Amino acid sequence: MRNRKPFKEGGKSKDKDMDRLEFLQRLGWIGAGATFLPHTLGATTMEFPVVRKPLDQRNFSSSAIEKAISDFKLHVKDPELGWLFENCFPNTLDTTVFLKSKGKNPDTYVITGDIDAMWLRDSTAQIWPYLPFMKSDPALQNLIAGVISRQTRCILKDPYANAFYDDESKVSEWKDDLTEMKPGIHERKWEIDSLCYPIRLAYHYWKLTNDTAPFNESWKQTIQSTLKVFKEQQRKEGQGSYSFQRNTSWATDGVPLNGYGYPVKPVGLICSTFRPSDDATIFSFLVPSNFFAVVSLKQAAEMIRSFSHDAPLSDALLALATEVEKALAVHAVVDHPVYGKIFAYEVSGNGSYNLMDDANIPSLLSLPYLGAVEKENKVYQNTRRFLLSENNPFFFSGNAGEGIGGPHAGIDMIWPLSIIIRGLTSGNDEEIKKCIRMLKSSHGGTGLMHESFHKNDARNFTRKWFAWANTIFGEFLWNTYVNKPSLLV
């Protein structure tokens, strides 16, 4: 469960200069008793003050990432975009990575930001944008190899858990959840994507480096464990070993029917008790996560065959991928009266479905980003039109922007993740520019991205320190800079 408490700035200032003054005071640029005339705040260095941690206080520094920042700021003439890129893109490295050991056996612990725990999903997503820079920065490659090694340890500890502590003896605040909690586990919410993201990281690390050192026998055991859990959660032979209940008034943290969720018909899809938002599913066959599982199973099969030389395991992974893929073709597509054939967000296998999307990734909007479908796929394009409309109950539009949210942060709260992924999956230049404009105006005066912001007031936001949103925003800006630099002018 992530922090749900919103952070809201005070009422609107009387003028722009006063907004800047309050911003600088909050950042510590103006000490007690210091005074500045409003007109002195208009200079570029004062309008965009340093919010990044000083060099000697950063958790990790990458020469390749610093060069990217310098290149971006040199060639992109919009000073605010340059400022945001410098703040956001390195945020994971600056503030959330802890390299415990280096060399042949690196070990890297990654927190989400304001929560001292390592999510399998977030840790991959936070590191993901740095993968292309490993070739020119061996220290960065070593750090990322350490993330793979730490994720291996986590999965071996409990493949059903989603978040872990650095201290394996630490007892969680959620220790009383009705599930098999162990010391060292922060939270034990079963989410398909928790086992997909480590494969995504491992596969692309391997493809970019040809390094197989992190993929030892322990890593192979995590793939075997992933296969076992996925097959168990197809629920062909009962409901499986996992259940979850929590004593809470927050409905989306609870799972009905003794912690197993509403019944599903075994059709080959995989059950996910929770969404990537850490909210409980309504129907356990979570469609975007099943799409993600197909991609991950195929990637794992290729790796196992290539350097573990275990053909039976590789074949089993591919067989499950094929089964899930066929089940998606039959059960995940529904006919909508306005948009035609679209993907449902969740299905039950017996005809019930939920039409919506959630900002967290994997989402339906993010499917091309995950390599699950092509951007041009007709069903995806129909789905996209539905998702970015008022027919999606979690699409919000207001004075501060438009985008997808979800139950986790509540009604009218837009997640920057959804705007970013909209831009990353768009083939339309005007739409990409629109996404950049909205993100540029969504930081609420902080110079950083947040979990969510109110559709009418970007200063009403949740989570001041959310590294995933910062880093993927940097990824979006960098991809645009490399591929379509004219859109940043």
- Residue 52 main-chain phi, psi, to 5 deg: -70, 150
Residue type, 164: F
| Alpha carbons 368 and 479: distance in angstroms, whole number | 15
For the segment 357-405, what is each residue's pLDDT rounded down to a tens digit?
A: 999 999 999 999 999 999 999 999 999 999 999 999 999 999 999 999 9
| Alpha carbons 384 and 323: distance in angstroms, whole number | 25
What mean pLDDT value characterizes the chain? 92
Q: Residue 489 has what pLDDT?
A: 78
Residue 7 has pLDDT above 60, yes or no: no
CB 330 within 8 A of CB 267: yes
> What average pLDDT does the segment 437-447 reach?
97
Question: Using alpha carbons only, what angle is made at residue 443 by residues 95 and 363, rounded to the nearest 5 degrees?
Answer: 80
> What average pLDDT does the segment 239-265 reach?
96
CB 85 within 8 A of CB 69: yes
For the segment 288-332, what is each residue's pLDDT rounded down to a tens digit?
A: 999 999 999 999 999 999 999 999 999 999 999 999 999 999 999
Residue 6 has pLDDT above 80, yes or no: no
**373-376 long-range contacts, Cβ below 8 Å, gap at least 24?**
373/291, 375/425, 375/427, 376/427
pTM of the model: 0.91
All residues at 6 or more sequence positions from 22 whose CB lies less than 8 Å from its CB, including other chains: 9, 10, 13, 445
Residue 134 has pLDDT above 80, yes or no: yes
Q: Residue 2 has what pLDDT?
A: 54
Q: Is 294 exposed, middle or buried (0-12, 13-18, 19+ CB in 10 A)?
A: buried
| Alpha carbons 77 and 225: distance in angstroms, whole number | 49
Identify the sign of the CA torsion 54, 5, 24, 415: positive
| Alpha carbons 15 and 479: distance in angstroms, whole number | 35
| Alpha carbons 371 and 207: distance in angstroms, whole number | 15
Q: Residue 28 has what pLDDT?
A: 35
> What average pLDDT does the segment 41-57 reach?
75
- Cα distances (angstroms) measured from residue 178 to each of 163, 258, 313: 16, 10, 33
Tokens standing for 351?
A: 């005809």
Residue 19 has pLDDT above 80, yes or no: no
Q: Residue 463 has what pLDDT?
A: 96
Q: Find the helix packing angle between 217-232 and 311-331, rounded to 10°.
A: 30
Q: Residue 15 has what pLDDT?
A: 36
Q: Is 318 exposed, middle or buried (0-12, 13-18, 19+ CB in 10 A)?
A: middle
Look at residue 233 and give its three-state secondary structure.
coil
> What average pLDDT does the segment 232-258 reach?
96
- Residue 187 main-chain phi, psi, to 5 deg: -150, 145
- CB count within 10 Å of CB 11 equals 8
Q: Residue 401 has what pLDDT?
A: 98
Residue 32 has pLDDT above 70, yes or no: no
All residues at 6 or more sequence positions from 377 whose CB lies less than 8 Å from its CB, including other chains: 368
All residues at 6 or more sequence positions from 477 whose CB lies less than 8 Å from its CB, including other chains: 72, 81, 84, 85, 88, 89, 436, 488
